[in-house]
Amino acid sequence: MRSYTDKFIMTPGPTEIPHRIRSALIRETTNPDLDPQFLELYNSVRAKLKRLVGAEKADLYVWVGEAMLGLDAAVANTVKEGTRALVVDNGVYGEGFADLVKLYGGRPITLGLDWRRSADLHALERALEVHKDVEVVTLVHCDTPSAIFNDLREVGKIVRSFGPLLVVDAVSSIGAAEIKFDDWGVDVLIGGSQKALNAPAGLTILAISERAWDRFKAVSRSSFYENPLLWKEMLDERGVFPYTFSDVLLYALDESLRAIFEEGLDSVFGRHEAARRASRAALEAMGLEPYPADVSCTCPSVSAFLAPRGISPSEVRRVAWERYGVMIGGSWGKLEGSVLRIGHMGVQASYAHLAVAFTALAKALADLGHKVDLGAALEALASRF
């Protein structure tokens, strides 16, 4: 017998889509290629995103395509044959940048960082001192498979002092944590619609500095779909989309941004910070081991923890979903089969959502023979909100 009516998506992306955003998906549609009002809406969404990530001096585009499109395009347009790229590799996605660098003929340098801690800033600085030919540095702000959070402000300061471009995967931090693109020395920032923005997957966000434009021109990548220069030429100079846009996905993203600014950025970021600390406290109250070494190393949008010895993460996920209607995440790469994750992104960063998630987790563990103190977990959650 199942014990739920409504289902809850508590994964670290794609996330639960709130009613007001789902409603935006059924707005009257238009022809984005020909409707001048759609172009106005697109530009207003760009302006909101610039404000959200502190990129007022930069160019910013929204592309049709899941966030991987932006990550691929960022590397394709900054790396060419022989480019030395320093990869901040403390996570599945952080390490994955090395594969993209190699795909485009570059030579990645990895640091061998601890996957349970934020990036070692001294190690980064030493590597840049040794490898003076590095032209690009890649960083994942929030590496969701391990829930590791990197200090973007300090990384940006170090990288800018040495001169390389800084390419940042902010897919899981946009809308959950403060980002100041202009002030922190970021050159390319990639985001996606399906994480803390609580919209459907299918849109890439790409912010680009003036230095990055110079690099794009120098690399001169032969591509149509991954060519930011085409967007600058066609959209900014002529007011024409390079290809047909998805109007309904933009309606959803616009509604998400409206909700964020209605709440206020201080409240949004504070709520995610509370979720980070509350989830950590709840895990410890249940006797579960968080994967990040410290709460300061943990993403504000996701918590990762080790499954109890002898308990299969896939079985925990199956029971939580099939019996209790709550979907939680496993992990990827070398963490697959040992780590479980609860997403607290966007609307999920709330006491109510987390109480449901931890209740389902506790019940699933008990069903599998591992009892935990649910009362203590809920008390710990409540005390942090």
- pLDDT at res. 68: 98
Q: Which residues touch 155 (CB under 8 Å, ≥6 apart)?
A: 88, 119, 121, 124, 137, 139, 166
Residue 18 burial (CB count, 10 A): 17
| Mean of pLDDT values over 17-46 | 97
Percent of the chain scoring above 70 in pLDDT:
100
> What would the pLDDT profile of 143-159 be if each residue is shown by its tens digit?
999 999 999 999 999 99
Q: Does the pLDDT at position 78 exceed 80?
A: yes
- pLDDT at res. 21: 98
- pLDDT at res. 1: 77
Q: Does the pLDDT at position 376 exceed 90?
A: yes
Q: Does the pLDDT at position 176 exceed 80?
A: yes
Q: Taking all residues of the chain, what is their mean pLDDT, rounded to a whole number?
A: 97
- pLDDT at res. 362: 98
Q: All domains of the chain, ordered by start, with CATH? A: 8-16+264-384 (3.90.1150.10), 19-261 (3.40.640.10)
Cα dihedral across residues 63, 66, 72, 78: positive or negative: positive
- Whole-Å CA distances, 23 to 20, 132, 292: 5, 52, 37
Q: Does the pLDDT at position 242 exceed 80?
A: yes
Q: Which residues touch 34 (CB under 8 Å, ≥6 apart)?
A: none
Give the pLDDT band (50/70/90) at residue 175. Answer: very high
Residue at token pair 């081991």: 289
- pLDDT at res. 3: 87
For residues 147 and 98, the answer to whether their CB atoms sit within 8 Å is: no
Whether pTM > 0.85 for this model: the answer is: yes
372 burial level (CB within 10 Å; 0-12, 13-18, 19+): buried
| Mean of pLDDT values over 295-319 | 98
Orientation angle between helical segments 247-263 and 265-285, nearest 10 degrees = 90
CB neighbour burial string for 51-61, b if at least 16 within 10 angstroms, e if fewer: ebbbbeebbbb
> What would the pLDDT profile of 197-220 be if each residue is shown by its tens digit?
999 999 999 999 999 999 999 999
Give the pLDDT band (50/70/90) at residue 79. Answer: very high
Farthest-apart Cα atoms in the chain, separation: 64
CB neighbour burial string for 243-263, b if at least 16 within 10 angstroms, e if fewer: eebbbbbbbbbbbbbebbeee
Instruction: Tell me whether strands 136-140 and 165-169 are parallel, antiparallel or unpaired.
Output: parallel
How far is residue 194's CA from residue 345's CA, in Å, rounded to a whole number?
Answer: 10
Question: Of 194, 195, 198, 261, nearest to 17 (Cα)?
Answer: 198
Q: Is the peptide bond before 36 cis (omega within 30 degrees of 0)?
A: no
CA 309: distance to chain centroid?
Answer: 29
Q: Which residues touch 319 (CB under 8 Å, ≥6 apart)?
A: 363, 364, 367, 368
How far is residue 317's CA from residue 322's CA, in Å, rounded to a whole number?
Answer: 8
> What would the pLDDT profile of 323-366 be if each residue is shown by its tens digit?
999 999 999 999 999 999 999 999 999 999 999 999 999 999 99
